[in-house]
Amino acid sequence: MFSNPVRPSVSGAIRTCRSAFVGIFIVSAVLNVLMLTGPIFMLQVYDRVLASGSVPTLLVLSAITIGLYGLSGILDILRSKALLRVSMRVYTSLTNPVLRANIRLPVMLGGKSAGLHPNRDLDTIRRFLGSPGPSSIFDLPFMPFYFLLIFVMHSALGFLALAGGAVIFLLVVFNEYSSRTTTKEVGQTTAAQSKVMETARRNAEVVGAMGMTGRLSQRYGELVTPYFYAQQQATDRSNFYSSTIKLLRMMLQSAMLGLGAYLAIRQEISGGVMIASSIIMARALSPIEQAVSHWPSFVASRQAMGRLNQVLLQCDVDRGLQGLPLPKGDLSIEEMATSAPAEPVVLLQDVALTLKAGDGLGVIGGSGSGKTSFARALVGVWPVLKGAIRLDGSTIDQWTEDERGRFIGYLPQDVELFDGTVADNIARFDKDADVVSIVAAAKLAGVHNLVAGLPDGYNTMIGDGGARLSAGQRQRIGLARALYGNPFLIVLDEPNSNLDVEGEQALSRAILEVRQRGGIVVVVAHRSSALLSVNKLLIIQGGRQVAFGDKDQLLTNVSILNGSMQSGKALANAV
């Protein structure tokens, strides 16, 4: 069966909380009815207690009022807790899809993904759902109920309240349309600032060593100015509408009292109705005022929801089949062409070759010729624009992403390790990994003695990016990670760029052992020592395949190579 029959989305996650929202709506309905406690108490005091002078009646009414206020407070607390739990449920249900999207975005969109931060969008949605903002939205449907009550008291009071509500509603609509652009600009400038900050932090050594701190600070400062003005404009606009609506509500409340007094003088309503109608109108307009105060977060949440839905739709592309047999026979490439994700320029094309189990392929060529592009397409992180890459007749995307990790090992040029123990990194953070397999991979990579010499051995915390290790140590642990689990296809991109003689000897032994057990090894190399243990050779120049065949035969016949290997004879002598 297909691995992802249902696409994750924010709306889908919210729909799973449907029963909770129904409960919150019912609680909101009860709360809005209980909000009439004050006006009714006031009405009874003016029209009954004062008229009759009955103290017992006043005491009974006061006791009932206090009880209803207490119930209202309890329900309000329960509603806030329910909204907080809804926000956390939505957040937790989307955490894994968002993490996958965060990982896949650079692979799918390349540089175009720089402005997309699905984890931040999810956090924006979580904060809004857990804030008082949704409470005001749940209260909005009960506004007509309050207006109807005012109409029951007197039609003139009802028309005044309705006119005031209409004006405030128009202000809310204007606020909505005027805040869209500025809120979007704030989000864009915030993303640009974060990008500069993260890049500087990631390259702190380079920045400090070459005196780039001042220049980057200046560049960051240039982004602060548009952010300041965009944020200022958004805040000023929100404050303007919020203050205007608050002022209008106060004016309407006074106008309601004035009109009520006039009607009371004419004996058309009682004094209690005059006071109660003013309080009810204030309550009717209160949700609008609260909604406007939370409007920036509402708009930001809505925009974040739109972006996140689009990202999840784009990145939910794992259409592999569960249970497809893992490859163990051959690798064939059929006139393959590839490019960087979401880029129109083809970087490598016309590659065609076949490898059998036990083959080792060396890939050579000048800088920028397309060797790394070949490696990335081979492991499925760059798109195949033309042709196909097949393992035992099936293209890579026919396996699920998780299952591909069982038969693919990859060592990129820039080795990145994760915050965790050495064992965690070698085992690819597999919780079910056994120590025997981890040590076997480390020994195969020739890094077991190095790891054993660390303070806590395989339990040594290496820090984010492998900060505690040298470049050569990171590369050798990255090689062990690629070899873990005895994958069928192992792709090594410049695996000896930071290795010493001992490390290169261990690399050659590892390649031979993988071939002897029936695996396929692809080695992208500039240094000839990495090719000692391969039997096939692929030569790439100018983004095209120049030659492919047995290594010894090609080394005899090929005479034009770029980079550090300028001639076939020189390479033959080195190997």
In three-state form (DSSP H/G/I as H, E/B as E, the rest C), the secondary structure along 176-213 is: HHHHHHHHHHHHHHHHHHHHHHHHHHHCHHHHHHCCCH
Rg (CA), the chain: 34
User: For 420-429, b where at least 16 C-beta lie within 10 A, e where not — what string?
Assistant: ebbbbbbbee
Residue 398 within any structural domain of the chain: yes
397 Cβ contact partners less than 8 Å away, ≥ 6 residues apart: 319, 320, 380
Instruction: Give yes or no: residues 339 and 443 share one domain.
Output: yes
Which pLDDT does position 525 carry in this prediction? 85
Phi-psi region of 435 (alpha: psi -120 to 50; beta: other; left: phi over 0): alpha
CA dist 407 and 234 (Å) reads 52
Position 113 pLDDT exceeds 80: no
Find the mean pLDDT for residues 315-329: 76
Residue of 566 and 424 predicted with greater confidence:
424
Position 568 pLDDT exceeds 60: no
Q: How many residues does the chain have?
A: 575
Per the CB < 8 A criterion, the answer to whether 28 and 138 are in contact is: yes
If we measure between CA atoms, which residue out of 159, 170, 152, 199 comes closest to residue 36?
152
Task: Give the range among 57-61, 124-128, 556-560 with minimum mean pLDDT.
Answer: 556-560
pLDDT band of residue 239 (cuts 50, 70, 90) is confident
Position 208 pLDDT exceeds 80: no
**Most confident residue range from 62-76, 122-136, 336-350, 456-470:** 62-76
Instruction: Give yes or no: residues 247 and 359 share one domain.
Output: no
pTM for the predicted model, two decimal places: 0.71
What share of the chain in percent tops pLDDT 70? 86
Which pLDDT does position 317 carry in this prediction? 61
Residue 464 within any structural domain of the chain: yes
58 Cβ contact partners less than 8 Å away, ≥ 6 residues apart: 45, 49
Instruction: Give yes or no: residues 334 and 286 share one domain.
Output: no
Residue 6, burial from CB neighbour count under 10 angstroms (0-12, 13-18, 19+): exposed
DSSP-based three-state secondary structure for 332? strand
CA-angle at 302, arms to 245 and 141, nearest 5° = 50
Instruction: Give yes or no: residues 334 and 221 share one domain.
Output: no
Among 272, 293, 314, the domain boundary falls at 293
Position 211 pLDDT exceeds 80: no
Mean per-residue pLDDT over the chain, rounded: 82
Instruction: Give yes or no: residues 252 and 361 share one domain.
Output: no
If we measure between CA atoms, which residue out of 365, 508, 300 comes closest to residue 351?
365
Per the CB < 8 A criterion, the answer to whether 535 and 360 are in contact is: yes
Position 333 pLDDT exceeds 60: yes
Number of domains the chain contains: 2
Instruction: Give yes or no: residues 156 and 202 share one domain.
Output: yes
**Which domain CATH number covers 205?**
1.20.1560.10
Instruction: Give yes or no: residues 249 and 349 share one domain.
Output: no
Residue 490 within any structural domain of the chain: yes
Residue 311 within any structural domain of the chain: no
pLDDT band of residue 316 (cuts 50, 70, 90) is low
CA dist 278 and 280 (Å) reads 6
**Which domain CATH number covers 429?**
3.40.50.300
Among 238, 264, 293, the domain boundary falls at 293
Which pLDDT does position 565 carry in this prediction? 43
Which pLDDT does position 202 carry in this prediction? 63
Which pLDDT does position 560 carry in this prediction? 41
- The alpha carbon torsion through 370, 376, 377, 382 (nearest 10 deg) reads -110
Which pLDDT does position 564 carry in this prediction? 36
Residue 34 within any structural domain of the chain: no
CA dist 421 and 525 (Å) reads 29
What share of the chain in percent tops pLDDT 90? 24
Structure tokens at 275: 């006071």
Find the mean pLDDT for residues 440-444: 91
Residue 126 within any structural domain of the chain: no
Per the CB < 8 A criterion, the answer to whether 343 and 110 are in contact is: yes
If we measure between CA atoms, which residue out of 104, 86, 107, 558 comes closest to residue 365?
558
Which pLDDT does position 284 carry in this prediction? 83
Which pLDDT does position 532 carry in this prediction? 85
Instruction: Give yes or no: residues 238 and 341 share one domain.
Output: no
Instruction: Give yes or no: residues 379 and 432 share one domain.
Output: yes
Residue 455 within any structural domain of the chain: yes
Domain holding 246, by residue range, is 142-293
Position 3 pLDDT exceeds 50: no
Residue 252 within any structural domain of the chain: yes
Position 6 pLDDT exceeds 70: no
Instruction: Give yes or no: residues 447 and 503 share one domain.
Output: yes
Residue of 332 and 272 predicted with greater confidence:
332
Which pLDDT does position 567 carry in this prediction? 41
If we measure between CA atoms, which residue out of 413, 485, 417 comes closest to residue 451?
417
- The alpha carbon torsion through 72, 78, 84, 85 (nearest 10 deg) reads -160
pLDDT band of residue 180 (cuts 50, 70, 90) is low
pLDDT tens column, 526-560? 777 778 889 999 999 989 999 999 988 887 765 44
DSSP annotation of 325:
P
Instruction: Give yes or no: residues 379 and 493 share one domain.
Output: yes
Position 245 pLDDT exceeds 90: no
Per the CB < 8 A criterion, the answer to whether 32 and 139 are in contact is: yes
Instruction: Give yes or no: residues 157 and 281 share one domain.
Output: yes
User: What are phi and psi for residue 339, nearest 5 degrees?
Assistant: -150, 170
pLDDT tens column, 385-434? 899 999 998 888 888 888 888 899 999 888 888 888 899 999 988 888 88
Q: 326 to each of 392, 395, 420, how far by Cα in Å?
A: 9, 12, 29
